[in-house]
Chain A
Amino acid sequence: MHNLPMAKKLIVVMVNSDPGHPEELGTPLVQATVAAAMDYQVEIICAGTAGKLLKKGVAAGLTIKPGAAKTVYDFIREAHEHGVRFYACPANLDLFDMTADDLIPECQGFLGAAALVGKIMEDDCRVLSY
């Protein structure tokens, strides 16, 4: 049996989690929140269609379950309060005609493809992708 060291970092890559299908958004956000509550270092990178979530007003207008009081933005804020760091893909600005000022305050900044790959290849990191 191998005794592998415990990973300390979790990177959640949200690419195909479509704000047009909000039921897809709960799982990555809750798993990231739980991981942060378990004292892991957690980062979420929103790219592709999921990049829209980081635009002000988008997540606040969505609920995972129709009619629920808790919005997707509430899930993002809860994750952030537990220490999850959110990053936007820089290419999303052009893709969705946004500027940095359009991003929600919970977004820590930008993480390009090379920086993301660099983080993922570190020994103490695990990745979930959605």
Chain B
Amino acid sequence: MPVVRGCFLPDELLYDVENQLWYRRLADGLIEIGMTSVALAMAADLVAVTPKRPNRRIEGGQACAVVETGKMVSAARIACSGFVERSNEALLAEPQLVSSDPYGDGWLIVLRPDDWPAAEAKLVPGSEVAKPYEAKMRRERFPGCAPPG
């Protein structure tokens, strides 16, 4: 698993580095989407995470979730269009899940993509993500993720 400046980025996922999202293809062909540990470390002071509600269409570039911190509001924008099949409603009551388990219980939505092969081609595999993430961190002067605990 790549570790960039103390931030874990699992190999088996695909990444949209600029928008700080990970993508996981599920057995049924649907796509699970969540935020990377880097995004969460940059956000800090998490107040609320509101994923897009299910049974709605979402277009590429639109927000699949909105994150509110003590300092700012930010949109988690997805790389592909599709239909929101499931939404992690547990986050409404427990937004810290995205920080404590970003690649597990902290998922945001499950999407039925319109054209997964086209979307997949735009994403970076986990095995190649360290370099672009290091460049992003350098550009944004991000010191790194704090050690757990």
Q: Across the interface, which residues of B come within 8 angstroms of A33, CB to CB?
A: 73
Of A34, A37, A39, A78, chain B has the most CB atoms within 10 Å of the CB of: A37
The answer to whether the Cβ of B127 comes within 8 Å of any Cβ in the partner chain is no
Would you call B75 and A82 a contact (CB within 8 A)? yes
Interface of B is mostly: strand
Q: Across the interface, which residues of A come within 8 angstroms of B50, CB to CB?
A: 34, 38
* A-B Cβ contacts below 8 A, count: 26
Sorting the interface of chain B by its residue count into under 10, 10 to 19, 20 to 34 or 35 or more gives 10 to 19
- Segment at the A interface, from B21-29, B34-42, B60-68, B131-139: B60-68
The answer to whether the Cβ of B100 comes within 8 Å of any Cβ in the partner chain is no
Q: Across the interface, which residues of A come within 8 angstroms of B71, CB to CB?
A: 70
The answer to whether the Cβ of B92 comes within 8 Å of any Cβ in the partner chain is no
Chain A residue total in the interface (Cβ 8 A): 10
Would you call B68 and A38 a contact (CB within 8 A)? no
CB distance from A77 to the nearest CB of B (A): 11
Binary per-residue interface labels of chain B (71-90) against chain A in the complex, 1 for a CB within 8 Å, 0 otherwise? 11111000000000000000
Q: In whole angstroms, how far apart are the Cα atoms of A39 and B68 in the complex?
A: 15
Q: In whole angstroms, how far apart are the Cα atoms of A130 and B101 in the complex?
A: 38
Of B52, B56, B62, B72, chain A has the most CB atoms within 10 Å of the CB of: B72
